[in-house]
């Protein structure tokens, strides 16, 4: 690994089996209801296939040597690991949700501590309970040394434009904390219960909705220092910006942001996980290569085994490739940049 040009994967997950046990013990009825909802959303065929996939990849999700070997095979120097989104538990009450988020952050920090030269970590916050977000964020970043937190596209009645989240956005900005936007589930529910549409359509839909709340709701105007990185290349939004800009021009209720919505993509970061070269070129055209960072969704089957190759297949040019594989991460995670270049003043 080059000390100055590490290849960094920002989208890699860890599974925490003990956390699932804690959630089930804390609220058996809530846990069962959530499992039933998940089964309805996905349908029996996808549920069976997903179970087999997890069993096959369980070691990569839970065993550090297996993870490091897979990183070596893919040419990844550093992973930013985040809990599997199945650990959000948005149905949990305030006490249980706080305990679960902190346990997830602690477990992730303990994993990172076993390989600090290869791993960075993201914790969790209980998004459905806005009053708990700042303490959970501070616990993850200030006490545990994680680089940020992972959140879903919404939770219960909480959308990302919700005014109750203002203290969270402000504190995340102050701390230079990464906020990794990774949906789990889709409110279209049973309409997506076959053909694995719950994931293939649901995830990019939720990304587009969540980012639109951040943009149209003026969150990025009020907190320009936020470091939000959207999984799955931001979903459908980056490829269909003309309609958002048109609405901003002609609809008064769509003028909650000060500039055309397309301009805000250059205030966000996006992972490169869009699955084909043409889509990656579209994303880079919309956001800029310096706002796209490498992402694999390790080790799930909807990820890519060789994310570096996918970037290179896009034919973006050497400078853009370097930005995606290594350069963009420096602006997303200032602490990493300072660690790599200790002579540079913070």
String of DSSP letters for 53-122 = HHHHHHHHHH-HHHHHHHHHHHT-SEEEEEE-GGG--TT--HHHHHHHHHHHHHHHHHHHHHSTTTEEEE
Q: How far apart are CA 137 and CA 211, in angstroms?
A: 20
CB distance 131 to 157 below 8 Å:
no
Three-state secondary-structure class, residue 50: helix
Token pair 């250059």 in the structure block, residue:
266
In the DSSP assignment, the letter for residue 4 is S
**What band does 204 get if pLDDT is binned at 50, 70 and 90?**
very high
User: How far from each other are the two terminal CA atoms of the chain, in whole angstroms?
Assistant: 23
Handedness of CA 219, 223, 225, 226 (dihedral sign): negative
Helices (runs of H) and strands (runs of E) counted in the chain:
16, 10
Radius of gyration of the chain from its Cα atoms, rounded to whole angstroms = 19
Kindly report the pTM of this predicted structure.
Answer: 0.93
Burial grade of 169 (CB within 10 A; 0-12, 13-18, 19 or more):
buried
With CA atoms as reference, report the closest residue to 87 among 23, 157, 180: 23
Our CA angle for 82, 232, 45, nearest 5°, is 90
* Residue 67 reports pLDDT greater than 90: yes
Q: How far apart are CA 21 and CA 196, in angstroms?
A: 27
* Residue 344 reports pLDDT greater than 90: no
With CA atoms as reference, report the closest residue to 293 among 169, 125, 148: 148
pLDDT digits (tens, 9 = 90+) for 233-267: 999 999 999 999 999 999 999 999 999 999 999 99
With CA atoms as reference, report the closest residue to 9 among 316, 310, 313: 310
Percent of the chain with pLDDT over 90: 76
pLDDT digits (tens, 9 = 90+) for 297-322: 999 989 999 999 999 999 999 999 99
pLDDT value, residue 337: 66
Percent of the chain with pLDDT over 70: 96
Query: What are the tokens at 208?
Result: 């587009």
């Amino acid at each position: 690994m080059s000390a100055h040009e590490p290849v960094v994967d920002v989208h890699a997950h860890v599974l925490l089996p003990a956390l699932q046990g804690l959630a089930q013990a804390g609220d058996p009825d809530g846990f069962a209801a959530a499992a039933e909802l998940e089964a309805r959303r996905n349908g029996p065929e996808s549920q069976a296939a997903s179970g087999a996939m997890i069993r096959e990849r369980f070691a990569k999700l839970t065993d550090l040597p297996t993870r490091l070997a897979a990183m070596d095979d893919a040419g990844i120097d550093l992973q930013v690991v985040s809990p599997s989104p199945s650990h959000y538990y948005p149905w949990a009450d305030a006490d249980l949700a706080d305990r679960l988020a902190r346990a997830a952050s602690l477990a992730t920090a303990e994993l990172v501590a076993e390989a600090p030269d290869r791993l960075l970590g993201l914790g969790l916050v209980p998004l459905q309970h806005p009053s708990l977000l700042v303490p959970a964020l501070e616990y993850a970043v200030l006490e545990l040394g994680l680089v940020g937190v992972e959140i879903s596209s919404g939770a219960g009645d909480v959308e990302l434009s919700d005014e109750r989240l203002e203290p969270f956005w402000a504190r995340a900005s102050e701390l230079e904390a990464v906020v990794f936007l990774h949906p789990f589930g889709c409110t279209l529910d049973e309409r997506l219960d076959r053909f694995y549409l719950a994931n293939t359509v649901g995830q990019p839909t939720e990304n587009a909705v969540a980012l639109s709340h951040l943009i149209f709701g003026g969150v990025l105007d009020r907190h320009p220092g936020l470091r939000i990185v959207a999984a799955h290349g931001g979903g459908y939004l980056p490829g269909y910006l003309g309609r958002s800009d048109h609405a901003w021009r002609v609809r008064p209720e769509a003028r909650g942001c000060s500039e055309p919505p397309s301009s805000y993509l250059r205030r966000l970061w996006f992972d490169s996980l869009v699955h084909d070269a043409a889509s990656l070129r579209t994303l880079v055209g919309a956001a800029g290569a310096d706002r796209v960072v490498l992402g694999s969704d390790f080790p799930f089957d909807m990820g890519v085994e060789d994310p570096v190759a996918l970037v290179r297949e896009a034919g973006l040019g050497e400078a853009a490739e370097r930005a995606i594989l290594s350069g963009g991460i420096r602006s997303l995670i200032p602490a990493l940049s300072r660690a790599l270049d200790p002579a540079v003043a913070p």
